[in-house]
Amino acid sequence: MIKSLFNIFSSKRRIISDPIPESPNQLVSVLGFIPREPHYYYLALLHKSALVKDDKGQKLDNERLEFLGDALLQAVVSDVLYHHFPAQNEGFMTMMRSKLVKRENLDQLAEKIGLPELVQGHTSNNNRHVYGNALEALIGAIYLDQGYDGCKQFVENQLLARYVNLDRLAKTEENFKSKLIEWGQKQHKAIRFELIAEEPQGGNLIKFHSKVYVDDIESGLGVGFAKRKAEQNASKQALRKLNVV
């Protein structure tokens, strides 16, 4: 079976002017199954910097499959969360999906399943999301080869079941304030928080309202029953506006 898979890969090379060696054994280990149409996976693991062209001179890379895989991953993760957390509301599931599909998490998952050894092309630190992007492209390839059910099985069995504890993840709170401050330092932007209101709620409860400014431009508003929580919520809103999360 592995030998025949390698032969199929080799036959696909004829359409590519600058062939790149593949590793069918590693690929099958990553996928958990033998592909029907291996050329989809070849393309999924082909970074644009490899400068590969077909016999018509058209550039080949994984960016279109990445686009497809991104949408599919969102759908599959939504499907999984809907059934795993039957009592949770839309806001909770949206937050969980965001945690699962964020760039940093996809990069880590890609490394854990061994994609760095399979991605073809120059993968320098200039683009730290090369492998996470390749994972999305791989999901797109699985969909084209195996359909939605095969795509869902891969995400559930090869990614989530092995490397993600959904219940534990649900209990972790992301530090949006630290993330915003770190982003500001990297982008040379000044981050400033302002407490704009303290609203008594009866007893000892106080609702805090905070704003965050990026280079003195109001970028987020947050509310919470602690000053820290209000700043966290303001930071989260700012990060979304900045397209960082």
Which residue numbers are catalytic? Answer: 70, 136
Residue found under tokens 């992301």: 174
Q: How many angstroms from the chain centroid is the CA of residue 35? A: 23
Cα distance from N-terminal residue to C-terminal residue, the chain? 42
Three-state SS sequence of 114-139? CHHHCCECCCCCCCCCHHHHHHHHHH
**b/e map 104-131, b = 16+ CB within 10 Å:** ebbbebbeebebeebbbbebeeeeeebb
The strand pairing partners of 221, in sequence order, are 211
Can you tell me the distance from the alpha carbon of 145 to that of 38, in angstroms, rounded to the nearest whole number? 8
Residue 12 near residue 113 (C-beta atoms within 8 A): no
